[in-house]
Amino acid sequence: MTHKRQIWQVFLSFIIINFIVMLAIVWYTVGKSKNLIKEIYFQELQSKAQVMARSVEDDLQAGKYEKINQKLNYLFYDLNSYVTVILPNGKVIADTRKDPSQLDNHADRPEIKEALQGHIGRNIRYSYSVEKDLIYVAVPVYKGRQVIAVVRTSFPYSATEHIFDAMQSEIFLFLIVLIILIIIFGYWIARRISAPLEEIALSVERVADGDFSIRLGDFPSKEMHRLSEAFNKMINELELQIKTIDQQKNQQRAIFHSMSEGILAIDHNERIIAINRAVGNLLGISEQAIGRSVQEVVRNSHLLKIIHQALENGDLIEDEIIFREEPLRFVQVHGTSLQNDRNETIGAMVVLNDVTRLRRLEEIRRDFVANVSHEIRTPLTSIKGFVETLLDGAILEKETAERFLKIIYNQTNRLNSIIDDLMVLASLEQKEERAEFQFSEEPLDPVIENAIHVCQSFAEEKKIHVKAECPGTLTVKMNPTLIEQALINLIMNAIKYSPENTEVRVCAEKTGNEIVISVIDQGIGIPKEYQERIFERFYRVDKARSRTLGGTGLGLAIVKHIVKVHNGRVGVESKLGKGSTFYIYLPV
């Protein structure tokens, strides 16, 4: 690209703009002057015509046409203007140029037609009588309201052109002088504008070469003064900016090394160009590996294969590697190529994510499935055994058959309870993901009373008194059906694990930004080491006692999920042999 000096760009722009403006002014002035000259001549001819019309008006009415002709030739004998008198029928009765009898009928002349209609007729056209362009003005002569004749005055158009040419020559001479002055003034302005810019450009070049001692002087214009101040301030702050960049680089490096995912980057020659601390811990390497071949540093053949595929294919590669050295680790690997702006492969990067904890969670899930299978298999095995015994002949013994059928009935109810609770948990999790629950601000007292009412018959069997302590004005945004189910589960557990002739209290109060619902029993209590896990599915402190009491191991898990749906939390306090208190915390 060809670069031009600023002075010539400013100079040429100034000249072009001024030249265009001057041309526009000249064009407008010339046009207006020409029209003005024409208008002056039209006005002069109109005045003459009106004077002549008044002077011949009496002779026209008396029909003294010869006298009119003599008068006109006498008055306009030595003048360049011409006068003609025409009757309404177009007949010329007087003319200062020729004998009227030798002139054609003038009824078809444009200015005559307009004057006969009662207007002032104007025209510029070629006259075949005098063989030149003339300016015509025709005025009507009235008798009463009737036009009895037209007086027309005319003047050679060449006279106006001579005046206009003389004026035009003076204008163009002035224009030439003005252009010369503009060129001189324009160069001075361009030089004045470009000189500071040239100084600034030289100073910037010196700074680019590393000379930070340069400073710009002051300039007379406000804008250039601001620019010089800004430039000097920039130089003063440049060192600070460099320090800031170094600091940011260190911060980015710290972030890079603090990432939990391990990152390994290599160039197209399979040499390591970047690693972070996480990948160093995973692979047992340090930053000293940078610049070395990846084959020298990485000993895992599976990982080397992924790196090679990322370099060759350029596609995103996902895989999982097991590091079998102690401790056993599962690592998820993502590999992809590094490309420049031209989409050329310049290396590869692999991201290693330790998913050992996730795999352990999956193992917990598998254990849960196994627990579910065990919980279902136990009543099924019992049912199958008693049915086989009945089929083998015990059905003929009435007492034995009734006892076996009651056991089968109880085990069937237990199996049905487990399935119902599992369905409740699945429904809670599914609706929580889809946000299908409806919440509204409701009073809490009726919900607690309904839950106690559901459990009342079971409490009466053990002579346990269930008491509610809740202000009638206490409200909370909730799904009443779900909260009632959670309270039923907690109250039923409190009754199950409490001795006879005791009391269970259900309390509710507002504490800070939370509504706290507590279910307090006087039961056997829970050992401290088990309290953190009692809300897990199928977890029991005393499995044999829980099954004897008819529990499914899912009641507290359902409570936890219901409260989670309400963006709340659960808690427990218990002392062995003195009872337990279960808490539900709901946000206000």
Q: What is the pLDDT of residues 500-541, one digit of tens each?
A: 889 999 999 988 888 899 999 988 888 877 777 677 766 565
- Provide the residue type at 579 as one letter: G
pLDDT at position 542 over 60: no
> How many C-beta neighbours within 10 Å does residue 440 have?
10
Q: How confident is the model at residue 434 (pLDDT cuts 50, 70, 90)?
A: very low
- Reply yes or no: is the peptide bond before residue 443 cis, omega within 30 of 0: no
pLDDT at 5: 64
pLDDT of residue 538: 64
Residue 572, beta-bridge partner list: 582
Residue 169, pLDDT above cutoff 50: yes
pLDDT of residue 4: 58
Reported confidence tier of residue 583, pLDDT bands at 50, 70, 90: very high
Per DSSP (E only), the strands in 70-164 are: 82-86, 92-95, 121-127, 132-143, 146-156
Mean predicted confidence (pLDDT) in 145-161: 81
Q: Higher pLDDT residue, 223 or 474?
A: 474
Considering the chain, what is the average pLDDT of its residues?
78
Q: Is the model's pLDDT at 119 over the cut of 80?
A: yes
What is the spatial distance between Cα 333 and Cα 318, in angstroms, rounded to a whole number? 6
Quick check: helix, strand or coil at residue 463?
A: coil
Give the pLDDT confidence score for residue 546 in this predicted structure. Answer: 46
pLDDT of residue 411: 65
Q: Is the pLDDT of residue 545 over 50?
A: no
- What is the C-alpha to C-alpha distance for residues 568 and 560, in angstroms, rounded to an integer? 9
Rounded-to-integer distance, Cα 479 and Cα 442, Å: 8
